[in-house]
Amino acid sequence: EPEVTQTPSHQVTQMGQEVILRCVPISNHLYFYWYRQILGQKVEFLVSFYNNEISEKSEIFDDQFSVERPDGSNFTLKIRSTKLEDSAMYFCASNGLGYNEQFFGPGTRLTVL
Amino acid sequence: DQQVKQNSPSLSVQEGRISILNCDYTNSMFDYFLWYKKYPAEGPTFLISISSIKDKNEDGRFTVFLNKSAKHLSLHIVPSQPGDSAVYFCAATASSNTGKLIFGQGTTLQVKP
């Protein structure tokens, strides 16, 4: 069964450093998303991406964040200068045309020290 | 801005009995609702969904009920099994938006053998 994959599973970084979180969505899906979950809180929407551009972004998704689909398979989230409060689980999700059900990856745990 | 609320942080039921998880929403634009199940250190797994044109959707042991006038939905699991123990998230989306899901805070279900 196709699945969304994410790498790395755990990333530890120093405050102020850049990180890139990687995702491989399900191959025939067209819509891509990033969400995050701070420990003990709800899953929060960050950004949606379709047709090689951002469709919508939340207030959390400020200028420090960017997304890219550099090739036909990868979907990346970059945080340019990490802050302590960026520590969270980051989930990538995707869905196909005409479907509302999004399929999530296993997540990347980002720890900013 | 809690557009989707799950007011019960936890629920404990006996194996074989019914589990009922509840969710309320405030945004009238929401027209599609989903339930996700999440184990620790894993991504949310899609469970079942319902469109606002329906009031019930059933899939095996799982049934979702939607009461639009009350802006309330519930997930019934019958019979409950120990393997159902997880965090359950209610999520909502509107066709008019970019597909972003708005999640509730989650309910931790424990099914005791």
The answer to whether residue A57 neighbours chain B at the CB level (below 8 Å) is no
Contact between A37 and A60 (Cβ < 8 Å):
no
Residues on chain A touching B98 (C-beta within 8 angstroms): 31, 48, 50, 55-56
CATH for A11: 2.60.40.10
Residues on chain A touching B91 (C-beta within 8 angstroms): 43
Q: What CATH number should be reported for the domain whose range is B4-112? A: 2.60.40.10
Are A104 and B36 an interchain contact pair (Cβ–Cβ within 8 Å)? Answer: yes
pLDDT band at A40 (very low <50, low <70, confident <90, very high): confident
Q: For residues A99 and A28, give the distance between their C-alpha atoms in angstroms, rounded to a whole number.
A: 12
Per-residue pLDDT of chain B (113 residues; tens, 9 = 90+): 679 999 999 999 999 999 999 999 999 999 999 999 999 888 999 999 999 999 999 999 999 999 999 999 999 999 999 999 999 999 999 987 788 999 999 999 999 99
Which residue type occupies B76? H
The answer to whether residue B92 neighbours chain A at the CB level (below 8 Å) is no
Are A48 and B99 an interchain contact pair (Cβ–Cβ within 8 Å)? Answer: yes
Contact between A47 and A35 (Cβ < 8 Å):
no
- Residue spans per domain, chain B: 4-112
- Structure confidence by residue, pLDDT tens digits, A4-31: 999 999 999 999 999 999 999 998 899 9
Q: Which two tokens stand for residue B87?
A: 């965090």
Domain count for chain A, please give it: 1
Residues on chain B touching A43 (C-beta within 8 angstroms): 44, 89, 91, 101, 103
Are A42 and B105 an interchain contact pair (Cβ–Cβ within 8 Å)? Answer: yes
Contact between A17 and A79 (Cβ < 8 Å):
no
Contact between B17 and B113 (Cβ < 8 Å):
no
- The residue ranges of DSSP E strands in chain B, in sequence order, are 4-5, 10-14, 19-25, 32-38, 45-51, 56-59, 62-67, 72-77, 86-93, 102-103, 107-112
Q: What's the residue count for chain A? A: 113
Closest CA to A100 of B105, B3, B60, B48: B48
- Structure confidence by residue, pLDDT tens digits, A64-108: 999 999 887 899 999 999 999 999 999 999 998 888 899 999 999
Range of the domain at A32: 5-96+105-112
Are A42 and B106 an interchain contact pair (Cβ–Cβ within 8 Å)? Answer: yes
Place of tokens 């007011």: B7
Q: For residues B48 and B29, give the distance between their C-alpha atoms in angstroms, rounded to a whole number.
A: 20
The answer to whether residue A102 neighbours chain B at the CB level (below 8 Å) is yes
